[in-house]
Amino acid sequence: MDPKIVHFGGQAGAPLAHDAAGTYEAYNDALAGHDPANLWAPFRSKLEWEIARWAKMRGPTSTAFNELLQIDEVRERLDLSFKTASDINKIVDNQLPPIAEFQCDEITVEGETYEVYYRDVMQCVRELYGNPEFLPTMKFAPEMHYADDEQEVPIYSEMHTGRWWREMQVRLETNTPGATVVPLILSSDKTQVTEFRNKSAYPLYLTIGNISKDIRRKPSKRGQILIGYLPSARLSHIAEADTRRRATANLFHACVRKIMSPTRPYALTGTPMASGDGVVRRCHPIFAVFIGDYPEQVLVACVKTGECPKCLVDDESLGERANAPIRDIAAARAALGTLGDGRPAAYIAACQDVRMKPVFHPFWENLPHSNVFLAVTPDILHQLYQGMVKHLLAWLTKAYGATEIDARCSRLPPNHSIRVFKNGLSILSRVSGQEHKDICRILLGIVVDLNPLAGIPATHVVRAVRALLDFLYLAQYPSHSESTLKYLEKALKAFHDSKFIFEELGIRQGFNIPKLHAMLHYVASIRAFGTTDNYNTEATERLHIDYAKDAYRSTNHKDVYPQMTRWLVRREQMLRHANFIRWRVQQAANAEAAVAPPAHPRIHIARIPSFKSVSFTQLATRYGAVDFREALAAYIIKEVHPEYSPAHVANLATGWQLPFKAVAVYNSVKIRLADPQERDEALDVRDVVHARPSYRDTRGRAVPGRFDTALINQGGGGASTVIGYQVAQVRVIFTLPVKARAAAFPFDYVGPAHLAYVEWFSPFGPAAEPHHLMYRVSRKFRMGLRRQASVIAVKDIHRSVHLIPRFGPQAPRHWTSANVLDKCRIFYVSSFVDRHTYITVY
């Protein structure tokens, strides 16, 4: 159901005038002097443009590209106007409209001078705000979204649905009505640019909250922009550690203050800015959010490592579920204001009183309407995956032993979204964020029936694992209501109520972990700035590839920053020009009248079968479909005679003779699912169900068969809860040949073309199991040991599902990942495959 949207009202985001300066029409005018009929100008043809784009965006080194063009007749046959990569650079530099250039300045700290490369931040803000590609999703005023018509259940998703924007709008409207808030979102993080020699870069990124979060988190959309390279010097010439840390903080803030200072007057008075359609509004660029890991957060907030950058919690209370006063930005600014009194001791004392480090003029000190303590936001990647999950995994390994955990990990059945750790977890070193995500999908399942080495019942361990995983998955919802926020708080309380077990087991002595304490601030941040995918550091980590690592590789590794910045500017010019050419081609083709592309089908099966003819005997021996003939006969009878009772159908199917003995078989079916948390029902959950027999690979090695388990919609299955679904193992995905279909069904029969032979598990019980809250299922049998099987339409396969074997106190060593679905009788249905499964099987 679409939310009830209440607009802010008044003059918020009101247009002032129209200025075509930032539109594609103005960009087209900037290319004047070229043939207007040439859609690819300043390049002579489509082919020349495509080659130039490939050379700058995807191509090899400049030397390799030059050698390619020097091959006899290559340039002539392709009719290229450029002879070298340098010629393309000249076209980009001289003929494409310019964008914000980098400049270099010197910053002096502790008697040393450092270079900082940065752009005009206001020009970068104007380019982001005025990009025509972002216009369809841009927001210029806050909104309130509600789940009910009575407007009692607010919904938080995009940044403009949060309280911060609304409160800022009220503040600006009080003095000068008609303001448009432009929330500035900064992120920074050091990153290695080489695998060896330990070279690093320190990028500073900028985006604005007016742009949709779906665009901001996709690097290819250019919703975030690099505004500077901060000095990454280690200051190793300063021997004393405290002095070196203070100098590092002063250097960081001096550089960011240099970059951000142009926004200060405009945050107060506003400045005319044109959006991608040429509409001019009075915009107030206000520092709103900072994205970074914990070291970056304490650096930005000027607090000591080990403390919370948001509140005044005591060091001894970090592990408790107790709220503490939020840091007072007014008191912090007052303390910083004592620096001008000429009394260093008084300044240090004033900073100590508010529990801050005496940093020399933090960059946010004089930024109007900003609150750095509120701006520091949750960090899913480092606080949860690389933080609490990492701690939890270490605790579980101590509690249960690495040997048994490894044995269970290597014996889990495969699934499209599941990584089977064939050698266990203990061999992993420097575990990445993605690996921690993969571990979270199986972590609860491998401990549900284990007893810790100390012999203490594992009930509270299981509850603690379940609670932390619940918090992790709930925290990543792309849309929250007050109800789901209560679930988030409930999960955090459950973890705190159960964490004592790790102390009883002798694994921990206290929980004064800043990343555990940070979980208390998630709900407040979601209410203020929208959901966590507005400010997750995963986006920043991905940006490092384009803006730091690839940029460094483009240089000759000598005096690298001028080369890196020049390479980045040219790349962005090419990306912007590619968008312009696409717009110009659409204009020429009258694309505005074009029909919208058809929606992607939910089920996708290959056009050509993997095997065109597989006999019933082969299906029984290679696929394990021992009752295929009888099950298919029952399906045909039921389709032709829907009035027959199930018992009558079963009796008829026993002796039914099919007029064919083979079917065409597929190895897999792909499924696209609507994300239940996305209101536009974007099909972004991709799933695959495999039904493939064993085979030998190209080296002659035997590869075991794979027959995945899936949720089958028995009628009435929805986006949430397991009502209407039943688990089955898919053994065969097939279709009837044309002649066989004509022989089996009446000529006027219209039914599904693709079918599946499945073996059933027991229906879901009325409630999940206690403590771990996973549903328990087992194989269904008939006539002794024969598995209950049916033929169903492939369209009734909702999605794959991952089953966790009930291993018992010790995993049977004869079980393997390939045979566990056949050897084990009782399973638990995992809730943590992905968010879609979590909502459905919760």
Q: Report whether 296 contacts 246 (CB < 8 A).
A: no
Q: Assess whether 56 and 192 both reside in one domain.
A: no
Provide the token pair at 241. Answer: 């550690």
For residue 1, the model assigns a pLDDT of: 61
Q: Assess whether 283 and 396 both reside in one domain.
A: no
Kindly state whether residue 765 falls inside one of the protein's structural domains: yes
* Rg of the chain on CA atoms, in Å: 31
Q: Assess whether 457 and 470 both reside in one domain.
A: yes
Kindly state whether residue 694 falls inside one of the protein's structural domains: yes
Q: Assess whether 796 and 747 both reside in one domain.
A: yes
- Per residue in 422-456, pLDDT (tens digit) is 999 999 988 999 999 999 999 999 999 888 777 77
| Residue 35 pLDDT > 60 | yes
For residue 681, the model assigns a pLDDT of: 43
Q: Assess whether 549 and 624 both reside in one domain.
A: no
For residue 240, the model assigns a pLDDT of: 84
For the ranges 23-32, 428-437, 783-792, the lowest mean pLDDT is seen at 23-32
Q: Assess whether 689 and 766 both reside in one domain.
A: yes
- Per residue in 386-415, pLDDT (tens digit) is 999 999 999 999 999 999 999 999 999 999
Q: Assess whether 797 and 674 both reside in one domain.
A: yes
Alpha-carbon distance of 753 to 701, in angstroms, equals 34
Q: Which domain holds residue 543?
A: 102-303+362-379+531-555
Q: Assess whether 184 and 291 both reside in one domain.
A: yes
| Residue 534 pLDDT > 80 | yes
Q: Assess whether 497 and 607 both reside in one domain.
A: no
For the ranges 254-263, 282-291, 301-310, 656-665, the lowest mean pLDDT is seen at 656-665
Alpha-carbon distance of 58 to 546, in angstroms, equals 12
Kindly state whether residue 316 falls inside one of the protein's structural domains: no
For residue 235, the model assigns a pLDDT of: 80
Mean pLDDT score, 345-357: 92
For the ranges 388-402, 411-425, 669-683, 684-698, the lowest mean pLDDT is seen at 669-683
Backbone angles phi, psi at 363, to 5 degrees: -60, -25
For residue 659, the model assigns a pLDDT of: 86
pTM: 0.93
Alpha-carbon distance of 842 to 836, in angstroms, equals 10
Cα 458 to Cα 259, 427, 616, 771: the distances in Å are 54, 25, 48, 10
Q: 783 falls in which pLDDT band (50, 70, 90)?
A: confident
- Per residue in 558-576, pLDDT (tens digit) is 889 999 999 999 999 999 9
Q: Assess whether 190 and 153 both reside in one domain.
A: yes
Q: Assess whether 616 and 765 both reside in one domain.
A: yes
Q: 682 falls in which pLDDT band (50, 70, 90)?
A: very low
Q: 598 falls in which pLDDT band (50, 70, 90)?
A: low
Kindly state whether residue 331 falls inside one of the protein's structural domains: no
Kindly state whether residue 807 falls inside one of the protein's structural domains: no
Alpha-carbon distance of 380 to 293, in angstroms, equals 9
| Residue 807 pLDDT > 80 | yes
Mean pLDDT score, 729-736: 96
Positions of E strands within 702-829:
702-703, 706-707, 709-713, 725-735, 754-760, 775-778, 781-782, 786-787, 789-793, 797-800, 803-805, 826-829
Q: Assess whether 166 and 154 both reside in one domain.
A: yes
Kindly state whether residue 324 falls inside one of the protein's structural domains: no
Nearest to 317, CA basis, from 332, 305, 304, 307: 307
Kindly state whether residue 318 falls inside one of the protein's structural domains: no
34 vs 583, more confident: 583
Question: Domains in the chain: how many in total?
Answer: 4
Please provide the average confidence, as pLDDT, over all residues in the chain.
90
Kindly state whether residue 7 falls inside one of the protein's structural domains: no
Burial string for 23-58 (b: 16+ CB within 10 Å, else e) reads bbebbbeebeeeeeeebbbbbbbeebbebbbebbee
Q: 597 falls in which pLDDT band (50, 70, 90)?
A: low
